[in-house]
Chains A and B, each alone.
Chain A
């Protein structure tokens, strides 16, 4: 079994260190901004001065998560990111094209996708398995699956999470590519401590996580996953989804009254399903009648991520 022992999210919503946030948040307004904590509480000044938004969010959430769970060193750190460190990538790309002569190296160093996982290991002195998955909208699900493989292999506590950051050029790009998202483009990070055993503060359990690239039929895929887990659509108390799949959900037998488009709350970024996971876990703490939750991530319609959660036995 896979247990979620702690969760931490920094986003455009008041999610950070705010248990019960799911009951108070409303859909994001177009001009919402990232709600940042005082990062100095979590990150040494010497490291902080170089860190871009995505790095600050990731390290702060990780530390918060470990503290909540009372775990000093996880056995592994697994991160998912769709687009990686965009701020530093754009900065170095700009330098590389415009500056004649020597280029400042910091933004190059911090442009690689594994910078989050690396900085987390560096800031807590962790020598365990360290991995970064980057499969656009399924990056987070892939990170979760990897964490679950590790727990099956005998590890105890895995820090798994996701992060993506917004930069201004993304808005311009989406206009030029004729993509006009109905929710704002946002930045966020969510981290979770996944454990092989139930602990006193365990929040929920993960029954299954599955990813389907170049998926054929969304309803069939959902039904197959539910069947594999010996459950069915009627048993689901909450379905969180992203992407234009209301019809697919109906075909799969999901009650529209129980389903919720989470990108209205999270905004759009490639790993927004990590926000959905934290939201679901928070809802389950508030409302004990929510026992079975399915997250259907079809942010990019050819890629389907499914995460099945179950409440902890009382």
Chain B
């Protein structure tokens, strides 16, 4: 199991107050901002930027950069690893 991805799911659920969703409900490749996926919106995108700084020490200064990185759990994990390496 990829612990970074599992941690991300827990952090997202907490940061976005996703009541009634558990980490197991979020597949690694599900589209976070698509209505068929988690259906997140632009306020959530800002909350995810806060999450990256709070838990992973990564600063995103341009919200547009976040858009690409926040497609799915997979892309978020990849983005974090790239920024940290």
Contact = CB atoms under 8 A, between A and B. Distances in A.
Interface of A: 45-46, 48-50, 101-106, 109
Given A102-B49, A102-B50, A50 B17 contact: yes
Interface in B14-29: 15-20
Given A105-B46, A105-B47, A46 B53 contact: no
27 contacts: A45-B19, A45-B20, A46-B39, A48-B19, A49-B16, A49-B17, A49-B18, A49-B19, A50-B17, A50-B43, A101-B53, A101-B54, A102-B49, A102-B50, A102-B53, A102-B54, A102-B59, A103-B50, A104-B15, A104-B46, A104-B47, A105-B43, A105-B46, A105-B47, A106-B43, A106-B47, A109-B43
B9 to A, nearest CB: 16
Contacts of B49: 102
**Max chain B Cβ within 10 angstroms of own Cβ: one of A102, A106, A109:** A102
B26 to A, nearest CB: 15
Contacts, number: 29
Nearest to B40: A46
A242 B57 CA distance: 53
**Max chain B Cβ within 10 angstroms of own Cβ: one of A48, A49, A103, A109:** A49
Contacts of A48: 19
Contacts of B16: 49
Interface residues of B, number: 15
Contacts of A104: 15, 46-47, 50
A40 to B, nearest CB: 9
Given A49-B17, A50-B17, A105-B50, 11 more contacts: A48-B19, A49-B18, A49-B19, A101-B53, A102-B49, A102-B53, A102-B54, A104-B15, A104-B47, A104-B50, A106-B43
Nearest to B41: A46
A238 to B, nearest CB: 43
A57 to B, nearest CB: 17
Interface string B1-21: 000000000000001111110
Nearest to B39: A46
Contacts of B43: 50, 105-106, 109
Contacts of B15: 104
Contacts of B18: 49
A101 B59 CA distance: 9
A106 B19 CA distance: 16
A48 B18 CA distance: 10
A296 B18 CA distance: 44
**Max chain A Cβ within 10 angstroms of own Cβ: one of B18, B46, B49, B59:** B46
Contacts of B20: 45
Nearest to A49: B17
